[in-house]
A and B are shown apart, each in its own frame.
Chain A
Amino acid sequence: MRIHRIITVIGAAIGVLSLVALSGSSAVRAQAPVSEVLIGELLPLTGNFASLGQQYLWAGQTVEDIVNNDYPDLKVPLGPGKGFPGLGGAKMTLVVRDDQSRGDQARTLAEQLITVNKVHWLNGEGTSGNTSIIQPLVESYGIPMSCHPCASPTLTEKGFKWFWRTGPNDSVMVASVFQFLKEWPAHGGPTTLKTIALFTCDNLFCQDNRKIAADLAEKSGFKIVADLTTKTGATTLASEVQRLQSANPDVLFYVQYPAETTVFQADAKRAGFMPKVIATSNGAYSDQTWLNAQKANNGAAAWLGRDPTAIDLASRKPSWKQVNDIYKKYSRGQDMGELSMREITGLLWMADTINRAKSVEPAALAKAANETNMTPDVMIIDYKGIKFNQNRQNELATGVVTQVGWDNEKHTIWPWELAKQAGFKTIFPAPGWQERDSKK
Chain B
Amino acid sequence: MTLFLQAVADGLQMGLLYALVAVGLTIIWGLMEMINFAHGEFMMLGMFGAWGLSVSLGWDPLVSMVPLAVIMYGAGVLVYRLLMRRVQRGEIFTQIFATVGLFFFIQNGAVAVFTSDYRFVEKSWLTGLSGAHITLGDVRIGVPLLVGGLIALALFLILYLLIDRTDFGLALQATSEDRDAAMLVGIRPQRMYAVAWGLGTALVAIAGVILANFFAVYPQAGLSFTVLAYAIVALGGFGSILGTLMAALVVGVVQSVTAAYLPPAFKDAFVFGSYILIGLLRPQGLFGRF
Binding site for B on A (CB under 8 A): 45-48, 50-51, 53-54, 202, 228-231, 233-240, 242-243, 246, 258-259, 262-263, 266, 269-272, 287, 289-290, 293, 296-297, 332, 334, 433-434, 437
Contact = CB atoms under 8 A, between A and B. Distances in A.
Nearest to A51: B116
Nearest to A47: B220
Contacts, number: 119
A233 B224 contact: yes
A252 to B, nearest CB: 15
A437 B223 CA distance: 32
B273 interface: no
A258 to B, nearest CB: 5
B14 A259 contact: no
B5 to A, nearest CB: 11
Given A51-B218, A231-B267, A270-B140, A293 B122 contact: yes
A265 B119 CA distance: 16
16 contacts: A47-B220, A48-B220, A50-B116, A51-B118, A51-B218, A231-B264, A235-B215, A239-B259, A242-B7, A266-B214, A269-B130, A270-B130, A270-B142, A270-B145, A289-B120, A296-B123
B221 interface: yes
Interface in B28-81: none
A270 B133 contact: yes
Interface of B: 3, 6-7, 10, 14, 18, 108, 111, 115-120, 122-123, 130-131, 133, 140, 142, 144-145, 214-216, 218-221, 223-225, 228, 255-257, 259-260, 263-268
Contacts of A270: 130-131, 133, 140, 142, 145
B274 to A, nearest CB: 16
Contacts of B219: 50
A218 B219 CA distance: 40
A211 to B, nearest CB: 15
B10 A238 contact: yes
B228 A235 contact: yes
Contact of B260 (A202, A229, A242, A258): A242
Nearest to B143: A270
Contact of B3 (A48, A228, A242, A296): A242
From A239, A243, A259, residue with most partner B Cβ within 10 Å:
A239
B108 A242 contact: no
B121 to A, nearest CB: 9
Contacts of B140: 270-272
Contact of B120 (A47, A50, A230, A293): A293
A132 B264 CA distance: 28
A210 to B, nearest CB: 12
A329 B257 CA distance: 48
A262 B216 contact: yes
Nearest to A49: B116
Nearest to A236: B14
B221 A236 contact: no
B6 A54 contact: no
Contacts of B10: 236, 238-239
A258 B118 contact: yes
B221 A259 contact: yes
A238 B7 contact: yes
Contacts of B108: 46
List 8 A-B pairs, minimum CB-CB distance, nearest first.
A50-B116, A270-B142, A239-B259, A238-B10, A239-B260, A293-B120, A233-B224, A259-B216
A246 B214 CA distance: 24
Contact of A263 (B122, B215, B268): B215
B136 to A, nearest CB: 13
Contacts of A228: 263-264
A332 B117 CA distance: 11
Contact of A296 (B111, B122, B221, B225): B122
A239 B108 CA distance: 33
Given A231-B264, A289-B120, A297-B130, 16 more contacts: A45-B116, A46-B116, A51-B117, A54-B115, A228-B263, A230-B265, A231-B267, A235-B225, A238-B259, A239-B10, A240-B259, A243-B260, A259-B118, A266-B145, A293-B120, A437-B131
A202 B255 contact: no
Nearest to A270: B142
Nearest to A265: B130
B266 to A, nearest CB: 8
A289 B118 contact: yes
A46 B216 contact: no
B268 A287 contact: no
A328 B256 CA distance: 42
A239 B257 contact: yes
From A229, A237, A258, A270, residue with most partner B Cβ within 10 Å:
A270
Nearest to A202: B265
B105 to A, nearest CB: 13
Contact of A287 (B115, B118, B123, B215): B118
B120 A262 contact: yes
B130 A239 contact: no
Contacts of A237: 264
A231 B268 contact: yes
A272 B214 CA distance: 17
A259 B215 contact: yes
A51 B144 CA distance: 28
A259 B116 CA distance: 12
B120 A238 contact: no
A184 B58 CA distance: 45
B264 A258 contact: no
Contacts of A46: 108, 111, 116
A266 B130 contact: yes
A291 to B, nearest CB: 10
A12 to B, nearest CB: 36
Contacts of A51: 116-118, 218
A50 B18 CA distance: 26
A51 B117 CA distance: 6
Nearest to B228: A235
